[in-house]
Amino acid sequence: MTYQFECERGNCQFLVRSSSSEEVKQLVRAHARTVHGGRIDPVDIERGMERIETA
Residue numbers at the binding site for Zn ion (CB under 5 A) = 7, 9, 12, 14
Closer to Zn ion at the Cβ: 1 or 43? 43
Closer to Zn ion at the Cβ: 2 or 14? 14
Q: What is the DSSP string of 1-55?
A: -EEEEE--STT---EEEES-HHHHHHHHHHHHHHHSSS---HHHHHHHEEEE---
Q: How far is the CB of 23 from Zn ion (least distance, A)?
A: 17
Closer to Zn ion at the Cβ: 12 or 52? 12
